[in-house]
Amino acid sequence: MRLNLRGALGTTTCCDGCPHNGYGMNIFRKEKKEKSIIAIKEQRAAYVFLIPAFLGLSLITYLPLLAALIVGFTDLTVFMLVRGEAPSFVGLENFRFIFTNPSINFLNSIYVTIYFALFAIISSVIYSMFIAVLLNRKMPGRTFLRAVFYIPYILPSAAVMISWFFLLRYEGGLVNYILVNMGFDRVHFLSSADTVIPALVMIAVWTCGNLIVIFLAGLQNVPRVYMEAAEVDGANFWQRFWRITIPCMTPIIFFNMLMSLVVNLQVVVPALAVTSGGPGQSTMFMTYLLYHFGPRTGQYAFASAMAFVFFLISALLAAVIFLTSKSWIFYEGDDK
C-alpha cells in the first residue's frame, strides 16, 4: 500500500535522479515488473539520446586521460611513432628527468601555475561576488549593466591579452599614464618578473563575467523570507550580507571556485599570445610547457609525465576544495 502511494506520488512529481527524492527510482523498479516494455523502451531511448555525448566523453576525455597516464611511463617520442617502433616501459625515469632537468625547470612551472591560479581564483571570486551583489539591487539600467560585465568574457582571449599588453606598457601605456597622474610611480607590469603574475591576475579578474552571471543566478535563490525576517529584526545591510546572503550562496561559491580552478590552472593564452613564458621563466605555465613538449617538439613521454603531474595537482586542489567544503557549505535545511 505504502509503495503504491509512493508510486502514485512519484509519477506526478518530476524528481528523477534528484538527490532529495528517491521515489523516481522506486517507481522505475516497481514499474519494471508491471509494464516492463514501456520502461525498457524509455531506457533504450535514453541510451540512444546519450550516445553522442558519451562517445565524446569517453573518446575525448576519459580515454585520453588513461592514455596520458600510461604514456608517461614509457619512452615514446614522435620519431618512434613515425618509424613504427614499439615504446618500452621506463618506470619513473620521465618523472625523474622532468623534475631534475634544470633547463625544463618544471618545479618553477608548477609554482607559477599554482601561484597564478590561487591568486586568480580568490580575487575573481571575491570581485564577482561583490559585483553580483551590487547588480542584484534594483537600479536603473540594470539589464544593461549586467550585460556590460559579461562582455570581457566573450572576447577572444588572444585579442584581450594583446590589448592589455598595450594598455600595460611601461612606455605610453594608459594604465601607467593614470598611475602617474594619480601620483604613483610607473609599474613594469608584464615586462617584469615580479609584477607579471599580479598583472595577469588583474586581467583574469577583468575577464570573469561568467562567474558574475552564475553568482547572480545564485542570488535569485536566496529565500526572500530570510531577508525579510532579518529586516524586521532590524539587521542592517552588512549583517544581512554576512549572515544570510553568504551562507545561502556557499554552494554557488563552491561551484564557482571549482570552475575557476579548472580554468585558471590551464592558463596558457598569456604565454602563447604575448609573453612566451617570459620575462625570465615567470609565465612558463604548465600548459605552455605541455604544448611545447607535446605538439611542438613531439617528446610525448615527457609531456605525458607532465600531464600526469598536472592531473594530480588539479585533483589535489579540487579535493582540498571538496573536503573543506563540508565545513563551510550551508545547505538549506541543515541544522547548523
Partner 1 sequence: MSGFVKSSERKLSTQKFGGLQSKRRTNTVFNIISFILIVSIAAVVLLPIWWIFRSSVMGSQGIFLWPPTFFPLGTLNVTEWLWSNYIINPASFNFWLNLRNSLTITVPCVIFGTATAISCAYAFARLRFRGKKFLFSLCVGSMLMPAAVTLVPLYMAWSALGLVPSYWPLILPYLCGGGAFNIFLLRQFIRTVPRELDEAAKIDGAGYFRTLVSIIVPSIKSAIIVVALLIFITTWNDLLQQMIYIHSRESYTMVLGLTSFFGTFRTDFAGMFAATVMTILPPLVIYIFGQRYFVEGIVMTGMKN
Taking CB under 8 A as the criterion, which residues in 1-40 touch partner 1? 14, 16-17, 24-25, 28, 39
Q: Is 271 exposed, middle or buried (0-12, 13-18, 19+ CB in 10 A)?
A: buried
**Residues 226-255 interacting with partner 1 (rule: CB under 8 A):** 237, 251-252, 255
Q: Closer to partner 1 at the Cβ: 107 or 159?
A: 159
Distances (CA, A) of 98 to 75, 80, 262, 272, 277: 13, 20, 23, 21, 17
Exposure b/e, 67-80, CB count within 10 A at least 16 = b: ebeebbbbbbbeeb
324 near 125, Cβ under 8 Å? no
Neighbouring residues of 67: CB distance < 8 A, sequence distance ≥ 6: 304
Interaction residues for partner 1, span 269-328 (CB under 8 A): 269, 272-274, 286-287, 290-291, 293-295, 300, 303-304, 307-308, 310-311, 314, 318
The nearer residue to partner 1, 61 or 103, going by C-beta atoms, is 61
Compare residues 27 and 196 and give the one whose CB is closer to partner 1: 27
Can you tell me which of 47, 79, 170, 330 binds partner 1, judged by CB under 8 A?
Answer: 47
Binding status of residue 42 toward partner 1 by CB under 8 A = yes
Taking the C-alpha atoms of residue 226 and residue 240, their distance in angstroms, rounded to an integer, is 9
CA distance 166 to 163: 5
- CB of residue 126 to partner 1, shortest distance in Å: 13
Phi-psi region of 12 (alpha: psi -120 to 50; beta: other; left: phi over 0): alpha
Name the 3-class secondary structure at 89. Answer: strand
Q: How far is the CB of 318 from partner 1 (least distance, A)?
A: 6
Binding span for partner 1 by CB under 8 A among 60-68, 118-126, 193-201, 239-247: 60-68
Single out the residue of 33, 137, 326, 336 in contact with partner 1 (rule: CB under 8 A): 137
**Comparison of 8 and 162: residue with beta carbon closer to partner 1:** 162
Task: Return the beta strands (E) in the chain as ranges.
Answer: none
Among 97, 99, 111, 150, binds partner 1 (CB under 8 A): 150
Scanning residues 82 to 121, which ones bind partner 1 (CB under 8 A)?
none
